[in-house]
Structure formats: C-alpha cells, structure tokens
Amino acid sequence: MKRGTLFVVSGPSGCGKGTILAEIRKDPGVFISVSATTRGMRPGETDGVSYHFLTREKFESLIRNDGVLEYAEYCGNYYGTPRQPVEEHLAAGENVILEIEVVGAMKIREKCPEAVFLFIAPPSLSELERRLRKRGTEAEEVIQNRVAQATREILCAKDYDYVVRNGELADAIADVKAILRAESMKIAKNQMIIDEVLGK
C-alpha cells in the first residue's frame, strides 16, 4: 500500500483557505485533520467536526505520550493536532491535510520532515483588507490587527514548499489539486512502482 502524503496548509485569516479546503475535502482519498482543544464547545459546533473537544487531563496525557504532532496554549486553552488519526489515514494511503498557523506548521516540519508545506496567500494585502472589511462583522481595530498579523504570516511563506496566490477561487482550488496530484508522483513515494513495472 502506497503511503499517503501529509500536507500542511497555512495562510492568513481571509486568504480563503477554508473555502479552498472545503472543496478539496470532496475528493476521495483526502482526509482533513480535525484539531483537538480544551476550550468549551460553542453553539453550532460539533465534537469531532469543528474540533475534538477534550478535557485538560486527556490533552495533557496526549502531550506526555507523544500523541500530538504539535500543540500550543492560547488564553489558557490547549489547541493541537492529534497524531493517531493522521498516522492511520496516511497508512491507509490517503493524503492528510492539516490546516494550521505558521508557528505550528514549523513544529510539524521538525517532526515530519517528509510533509509538504503549502502557503495560501491573498492576491495582495490591500485585497485581503477589502475582503476582511466586506465581512462587515469586525471593528476597524480588529481589521488593522488582522492585516498586521497577515503581513507577519506572509513573510513566513519563504519557509513553505509551495505558495498559492488566491486571486480567482477556481484557479486556487485547481492549483492545490495539482500540488496534491503531483506530489503523489514524487519518486520518493514510488520506488515500489519501479519494481511493479519491472514485474519484480
């Protein structure tokens, strides 16, 4: 069984990565990892879909037993990537996608050097600002903070393998699909295909 590939996808808030991944998720053979957290469930959220909602004791037990690929603590709550489902889906030959911010992504880079890193960029900072403002839900100060945060994140794109610039959504979806398809043909994943072709 050919092992799947681990993809780590980052990009600033408003870059459209959620919309892109919602489309990628429809492809068979793709598993999108669900993060774990110790924060309380909010209205409209579903356990195992929005997050795996864990107790603090359970999360700390996972940390001790190398059961999370990366984690961080924000505002007194843990957030992290459970290792077991990622490993299981990779072993089953599926591509696994982690949507994760830049600091967590670089922790994955250390633990999983074979992972492939995609950065989704907005077409421009000014367009990102326009999109955030269009949502109409955020105070001006929040928007300015997000743009400043996006700037810091975009400077981290140099540490990724690929950068997809999300100008037209359909193009960006096709870009991400092309990356997934191309990576499955990398020679490192296909040594056994050489043997198969030769009939060994």
For the bound state, the minimum distance from the C-beta of residue 178 to a second copy, rounded and expressed in Å, comes to: 4
Residue 3, C-beta contacts closer than 8 angstroms, at least 6 positions apart: 90, 91, 93, 189
Size of the chain in residues: 200
Q: Does 178 bind a second copy (CB under 8 A)?
A: yes
Among 69, 104, 162, 173, binds a second copy (CB under 8 A): 162
The yes or no reply on residue 105 touching a second copy (CB under 8 A) is no
* Range 40-79, binding a second copy (CB under 8 A): none
Site for a second copy contains 97 (CB under 8 A): no
Applying CB under 8 A, the site for a second copy has a residue count of 37
State the DSSP code for 46: -
Cα–Cα dist 46/52, whole Å = 9
Contact status, residue 69 vs residue 112, Cβ threshold 8 Å: yes
**By CB under 8 A, residue 174 contacts a second copy:** yes
Q: Which one, of 38, 36, 70, lies nearest residue 50 by Cα?
A: 36
Least distance in angstroms from the C-beta of 127 to a second copy: 9
Question: Could you tell me the two tokens for 128?
Answer: 């990102």
Which residues contact a second copy by CB under 8 A?
119, 121-126, 151, 154-155, 157-158, 160-165, 174-175, 177-179, 181-183, 185-187, 190-191, 193-194, 196-199
